[in-house]
Amino acid sequence: MERTGAMKVVMDAFETPPLVRMAARGLVWPFQWLGYKGDPDMPPVPRALTALGPAYIKFGQVLSTRPDVVGGDLATELRVLQDKLPPFDLAVAKRAVESELGQSVDEVFSAFSEPVAAASIAQVHRATLAETGEDVAVKILRPGIERAFQKDVDAFYFAADSIEFLSPASRRLRPRDVIEHFDGVVTGELDLRLEAASASEFAANTVKDAGFQVPEVKWEYSARRVMTLGWAEGAPMGDNAALDAAGHHRHSLGSRVLELFLSHALRDGYFHADMHQGNLKVAANGDIIAYDFGIMGHIDEYTRRVYAEILYGFIQRDYLRVAEVHFEAGYVPADRDVDEFARALRAVGEPIFGMDATRISMGRLLSYLFEVTERFGMETRTELILLQRTMVVVEGVARSLDPEVNIWDVAKPVVARYIEESIGPRALGKDLMKTARVLMRFGPRLPGLVEGALIRQAVADEPVKSRSWSLLILGGVVAAGIGFAAGVAVVLLA
């Protein structure tokens, strides 16, 4: 960072105190010549992150969506990391296609362009299928990308272990667990067959979503290192001038990006977890087109309900209920005070609701939220990392389209609809029906389980203890519960 000049730029962007700035640069400056040189034609921060490797580029992509955190100039510089990195040679790309598909490029495609986009993992070419004449996008992994990512991840593991060893207070953040989660996500991203499956599932989930498109997967032209999708024509989401020239209403687009993300996360529990501007286009008819499905997020039904209740509590400014949900879900240790936590949440929420969206400092807000999590001993929840990261990215995309887009105003109808459908009486009926089906499926095995437990006790020549009696009682409860659950469910659903 020091060698490329990026360290000064970053500290300026984050308004680092002068004393910290002097100490940091004083320690690093003598060793700057050991750092990677990078491409001198690039601006300092993109140059440094690109030289460091693909995992660091991912981090830069997230920052590129948050001009309110890093400043407008730096955010604009970082946008090159989304899809405008230096490409690899066309001949190398063609050899990869031939190796993966078992046919020459000329046999499969009647036209095959130079790279039209290049990011940290792969690059994309526009091509035409020889058989049908259809235009397609061909995504090809970078040569040696697996080894490069593993090098970065190994460094992250070393850093996480060092942090946990040197700073016991950091263990609540679970640095190593976070890196393990990141490692798993990246491993999936490096197999384009899995990405094709993700794109197919995402398309099936969202087929009825108005104003949203997912390109079709061409399975017969896809493999581990090559994926082919239908070509998506549209203006880049990150080019406001192009959007204006095409007559699109940017405030509506920003609101719809947020609505779509929340709908997918809450309704389906399956969402695009890399929704920066480089992975979004706007079609001529105003539809939002998503692509690059290497990172997808999944959250279970219970977590979705918790997430919805927290969001809805903030929207309703019911901070006590938000606090209670955190305790009920185990996000805050049970020995902390729920009322005190509610007051801390009020300090987070009230400035947001009482202030124009353009004046909210996301940097200060995140800083205070970190203080709150530290004070109340909240641990990192690895199952929520992608959800929280995507929330930050998507809001940044929306506000880059129009700084006056307010996430809470957009979220209210989406969350209210989910609450109504998933937490009300009808949802209770569905839950009871699911419970009844499970009980009926395992019901025939219960007598055998009870008998087996009794036989084991007899063979061991031990008295029947409370555990066996518990099993007997459970069998009776289950038998009665099957009929009760099914009956209640039918009444409620009717």
Catalytic residues: 274
| CA quadruple 128, 133, 136, 139: dihedral sign | negative
Alpha-carbon distance 6 to 24, whole Å? 13
Alpha-carbon distance 40 to 43, whole Å? 8
Q: What is the DSSP letter of 380?
A: P
Amino acid at 198: S
Distances from the Cα of 32 to the Cα of 6, 11, 37, 44, angstroms: 11, 16, 10, 14
The two tokens of residue 215 are 């390109």
Longest dimension (CA), the chain: 85
DSSP string, 185-253: HHHHHT-HHHHHHHHHHHHHHHTT-TTEE-PPB-GGG--SSEEEEE----EETT-HHHHHHTT--HHHH
Which class for 247: exposed (0-12), middle (13-18), buried (19 or more C-beta within 10 A)? exposed
DSSP string, 255-312: HHHHHHHHHIIIIISEEES--SGGGEEE-TTS-EEE---SSEEE--HHHHHHHHHHHH
Output the CA angle 119-174-160, nearest 5 degrees: 60
Per DSSP, the chain holds a count of helices (H) and strands (E) of 23, 10
Q: Give the strand pairing for 212-213 and 288-290.
A: parallel
Q: What are phi and psi of 229, to 5 degrees?
A: -125, 160
